[in-house]
Amino acid sequence: MDTMLDSRRVVITGLGVVSPLGASIEEFWNRIVSGDCGIVPITAFDAEQYDCRIAAQIDEVDVTPAFPNPKEIRRTDRYAQFGVFAGHQAIQDSGMDLAGTDLDEFGVFIGSGIGGLRTIERQHQVLLKKGPKRVSPFLIPMQILNMASGLLSMYHGLRGPNLATCSACATSGHSIGEAWRTIKMGDAKVMLAGGAEAAITPVGIGGFAAMKAMSTRNDDPQHSSRPFDIERDGFVMGEGAAVVVLEEMEHAKARGARIYCELRGYGNTADAHHMTTPDPNGAGAGRCMKMALRSVRMNPEEVGYVNAHGTSTPQGDICETVALKEVFGEHVKGLAVSSTKGATGHMLGAAGAIEMAICAKSIETGVLPPTINYEYPDPDCDLDYVPNEAREKRVEAAVSNSFGFGGHNASLLVTRFNG
């Protein structure tokens, strides 16, 4: 790595979460380690005719603290409401005084895999029933997937680098990785980074169900998402947002910040294989993890925990297991691996960020979250998946994996902070 990139260190100093298990990092973390599940029958719309009728759905959340006035909320799609609120929380959690911060060096990278799908669906119905003149003038700004990133910059005066990634389920992993790179390059001192998603809608559920990608265990929602278990039958959609505050280390130390962990490495590769199916050999995922390790010259044996992508799909979980074995070799036998999607569902473009928050809390607390609903081992998935109960274990380094349709891969490597 370039000497300039080596010289700047990046730490995580704030976490914000809106999830099916709570709309604060404290509630979310407590419920994750307790093994709770946020998957329920869908009530957001009438799902009676759908093959999949379950989701990790969020009850209404009071996002007003993050918005200048209620009118702005009505002009913002649900996904962006989640993203803005998670970003607001992350700033608060960081303890940063914005009035004393150079906001020219404070940027925002918040992505979304799908964006404002609910707005598109509702306004399309308006178009069909009432004609084009009744379509909302806020349709476009509400549905575009960069608006969470844009609104956070506007509401907080953050004038640094600003963009929105979109790489399906790898979106917020890439958001965080590219924000890390931005600080390493010296283009910002502080970054908000993460993702937001709200696709539990008729088209969202209908589209994924048509691909036969989703669980149809409708009579047992709490046990429907079961990563690495041999009875898994597909993923369950989740919604929400997560945002982390990334900060250049000297900037964080100068203000006496509480530091969760250090973000050390980032991998970004492509499978170049298929629109929706991962490389059966796990080659793209393996190269991605190796890239994250190589960027900090870390040996695989130094990693103690992996928060797996582990979506509960029959093929995807096997491919990731194969990749982990190839990357970690003999060390994989002592490596703790868990997927938290049994609890949160698959939050699509927000998944990587909420799982990065989990890795940060795991390093901070010395507790690894469980893979819930792991009851029947799959001989093709034979690693230590931290089954069903959280585990007390101090780890010095953790990897978070996110893999998306289109063959997009993102891996993030965090370590215990040693300043």
In tens digits, what is the pLDDT along the chain, a chain of 419 residues?
455 556 899 999 999 999 999 999 999 999 999 999 999 999 999 999 999 999 999 998 999 999 999 999 999 999 999 999 999 999 999 999 999 999 999 999 999 999 999 999 999 999 999 999 999 999 999 999 999 999 999 999 999 999 999 999 999 999 999 999 999 999 999 999 999 999 999 999 999 999 999 999 999 999 999 999 999 999 999 999 999 999 999 999 999 999 999 999 999 999 888 988 888 888 999 999 999 999 999 999 999 999 999 999 999 999 999 999 999 999 999 999 999 999 999 999 999 999 999 999 999 999 999 999 999 999 999 999 999 999 999 999 999 999 998 889 999 999 999 98
Same structural domain, 29 and 155: yes
- 156 lies in the same domain as 282: no
Could you list the active site residues? Answer: 169, 309, 346
Claim to verify: residue 236 and residue 287 sit in the same structural domain: no
- Of 78, 140, 89, 138, the C-alpha closest to 112 is 78
The domain boundary, picked from 232, 254, 276, lies at 254
Residues 144 and 271 in one domain: no
Same domain assignment for residues 353 and 382: yes
320 CA to centre of own chain: 17
* CA torsion through residues 178, 111, 23, 390, sign: negative
Give how many domains the chain has, as a whole number. 2
Same domain flag for 193 and 309: no
Residue that terminates a domain, selected from 198, 230, 254: 254
| 41 and 129 both lie in a single domain | yes
Residue found by looking up tokens 């730490």 in the block: 11
Cβ-contact 76, 84 below 8 angstroms? yes
Residues 53 and 176 in one domain: yes
- In this structure, are 287 and 333 located in the same domain? yes
For residue 239, the one-letter residue type is E
Residue 166 within any structural domain of the chain: yes
Nearest Cα to Cα of residue 372 among 411, 343, 409, 401: 343
Last residue in a domain, options 254, 287, 310: 254
Distance, in Å, from the CA atom of 350 to the CA atom of 329, rounded to the nearest integer, reads: 30
pTM: 0.96
Does one domain contain both 292 and 249? Answer: no
**CB-based burial label for 365 (10 Å; 0-12, 13-18, 19+):** middle
Cα–Cα distance for residue pair 109/80, rounded to 1 Å: 13
Residues 14 and 122 in one domain: yes
Is 259 part of any domain? Answer: no
Residue numbers of the domain that contains 54: 3-254
Asked, for residue 260, whether it belongs to a domain, the answer is no
CATH of the domain at 328: 3.40.47.10
Q: Which tens digits make up the pLDDT trace of 36-88?
A: 999 999 999 999 999 999 999 999 899 999 999 999 999 999 999 999 999 99
CB-based contact 213:227 (threshold 8 Å)? no
The verdict on 206 and 313 lying in the same domain is no
